Amino acid sequence: MNLTEKILAAHCGRKSVTPGEFINVKVDLILANDITAPLAIKEFRNLGTKSVFDPQRVVMVPDHFAPNKDIPSAEQCKLMREFALEQLLVYFEVGRAGIEHVLLPEQGLVVPGDVVVGADSHTCTYGALSAFATGMGSTDIAVAMATGEIWMKVPAAIQFVYSGKLRPWVGGKDLILHTIGRIGVDGALYASMEFTGEAISELSMDGRFTMANMAIEAGGKAGLFRADKKTLEYVKDRAKRPYKVFDPDPDARYSQTIELDVSNLEPQVAFPSLPSKVKPVSQAGTVGLDQVVIGSCTNGRLEDLRVAAQVLNGKKVHPRLRCIVLPGTQTVYRQAMHEGIIERFIEAGAAVSTPTCGPCLGGYMGILAAGERCLSTTNRNFVGRMGSTKSEVYLAGPAVAAASAVAGRIASPQEVAG
C-alpha cells in the first residue's frame, strides 16, 4: 500500500484498502472557520445530537472575515464562538490565533498519521505532516462532529518525484506551481498526491506546508509527504498527543508516477486566471502592478516573511504600488517582530496586518478595483477572486512578491536583491 492507503486502512479497522472503495473512516481532528462553521452548526442542530463526539477533537478558528469586517461577519463569528463555548471545543479567538492552516500545525494539534477533515478546501495543508487531510462540505463536517467518522471513497494516489538541487530563491511555492502548470488544475482530480525525491528531502517544513496547501489547486483530494527527520523534529515539542508514523510499502502501487527534474527551475508565476497558467519569472514580460500581498495559509509562515524581508531589506515599495503583509499567526507575527522583520517591512513602506485570510478570498483588507493587478502569495487567482471581476491576480512565492513590490511590476528576486 501507499502512504494514503496505509493511513486510511488504519483508521477504518482494515488491513488494507484499495482505490474506489467506500469506507467509514475515524477522524482525529475536525476543523471549521467563521464562514463554514455556521452552516455546519445548523446541520449539527438538525441531527438532534446534544454534543460533539469529542470536544478536544473539534477546532474552530475565526480567520476569514475576522477581525469582523462588518455586521454579517460579526454575526457569523458570534454564532461560532457561542457554539464553541457551549460545546467546550478547541477555540482560538482573534488576538490569540491566526490563519487556521498555519495555526493548527504550529499548535501541535495535527500530528503524523492523522486523518483530518475541515470545512475548508485548503485543509490538505496538513499533509506536510504526513497526515491524510482533506476539505469537506459543512454537512459532512456536521456529521463528523456528531459521530467522529466520515464516509468517503479511497482515492487513487499519484507519486511525484522531484530530483535535483533547488536554485536560489526557489522554494515550495515554485515547486507546486510548476507541478500544477504541468498537470493542470484537474490533473490530480480526486487523487492523493504523494511528494517525494531528493528536492523534497531538502525542502523545509514551511516549504512542504506550501506544497500540500495547493494540492487542491490540482484537483487533489490530499497532498502527503513521508514523515522524515525534519517532520519529527517539527512535531517533537509541539505534538499535543501521541502519534504513529506510517510509511508506504517498498512495492507501493500508484496510479502513475510523475518525475520532475527541478535543477534548473526558476521562480514561477501563475498568470490570470488559473493556477496552472504558469511561466518562469524570466518570461513574465513587463506586467505593471497595483498591489502585492505577502501572506495567507500558503505563504504566511516565518520562513516566507524572512525571504520577503531579505529581498526588501534597505529598499522601498514602489511609489505607485501598495504592499500588504499578513503574518500567518500571532506567533509568527511576534517572532517576526523579534527578528526585526516587521520593522523592515514598515521601513520599506508596506502595510502589516493582524493575521487574517482577508484579501485572499476577496474578503477585505486588499480588495481590487476594476482594471487593477495584484501579485499575491495566495493560492488562487480565479476571476474575481480578490475583488472586481475585471481585476487580475498573479500568483508567486514571497521572493518574487517582494521583488515585484520594489520594481512596481513582476520582477525576479535576483534582479532586485542579487
Query: If the chain, 418 residues long, is cut into consecutive pieces of 10 residues, what is the mean pLDDT of each piece?
Result: 98 97 98 97 96 98 96 97 98 95 98 98 98 97 98 98 97 98 97 98 98 98 98 97 96 97 98 98 97 98 98 97 98 98 98 96 96 98 97 98 98 93
| Distance from C-alpha of 377 to C-alpha of 325, rounded to nearest angstrom | 10
- The pLDDT value given to residue 173: 98
Asked which of 196, 227, 260 is the last residue of a domain, the reply is 260
Same domain, 398 and 282: yes
- The pLDDT value given to residue 349: 98
- The pLDDT value given to residue 275: 98
Residue 243 placed within a domain: no
Same domain, 58 and 166: yes
Which residues lie closer than 8 Å to 146 by C-beta, 6 or more apart? Answer: 44, 47, 49, 52, 53
Residue 207 placed within a domain: yes
| Distance from C-alpha of 17 to C-alpha of 157, rounded to nearest angstrom | 12
Same domain, 207 and 349: no
Same domain, 213 and 311: no
Same domain, 163 and 121: yes
115 to 31, 152, 182, 219, 369: CA distances (angstroms): 12, 12, 28, 19, 40
Nearest to 139 by CA among 43, 60, 24: 43
Q: Rounded to the nearest 5°, which phi and psi values hold at 118?
A: -140, 150
Same domain, 194 and 225: yes
- The pLDDT value given to residue 186: 97
Residue 242 placed within a domain: no
Please give the full DSSP string across 329-388, using - where no structure is assigned.
Answer: BHHHHHHHHHTTHHHHHHHHT-EE--S--GGGGT-SSSPBPTT-EEEESSS---TTTTB-
Extended beta strands in 254-316, E state: 256-261, 268-270, 278-280, 291-295
- The pLDDT value given to residue 21: 97
Nearest to 358 by CA among 72, 65, 37, 35: 65
- The pLDDT value given to residue 87: 98
Residue 333 placed within a domain: yes
β partners of residue 291: 322, 374
Distance of CA 226 to the CA centre of its chain: 18
Same domain, 224 and 285: no
Taking residue 266's Cβ as centre, other Cβ atoms within 10 Å add up to 19
C-alpha cell at 244: 504513529
Domain that residue 212 falls in: 3-14+22-237+252-260
| Distance from C-alpha of 382 to C-alpha of 380, rounded to nearest angstrom | 6
β partners of residue 240: none
> Does residue 93 contact residue 8 with C-beta atoms inside 8 Å?
no
Cα dihedral 111→112→117→121 (10° resolution): 100
C-alpha cell at 334: 511576534
CATH number at residue 342: 3.30.499.10
Residue 247 placed within a domain: no
Same domain, 222 and 306: no
The total number of structural domains in the chain stands at 2
Same domain, 229 and 276: no
Same domain, 160 and 284: no
Same domain, 314 and 350: yes
Residue 244 placed within a domain: no
pLDDT single digits (tens) 351-398: 999 999 999 999 999 999 999 999 999 999 999 999 999 999 999 999
Taking residue 288's Cβ as centre, other Cβ atoms within 10 Å add up to 13
Same domain, 256 and 279: no
The 8-class DSSP code of residue 216 comes to: G
- The pLDDT value given to residue 418: 76
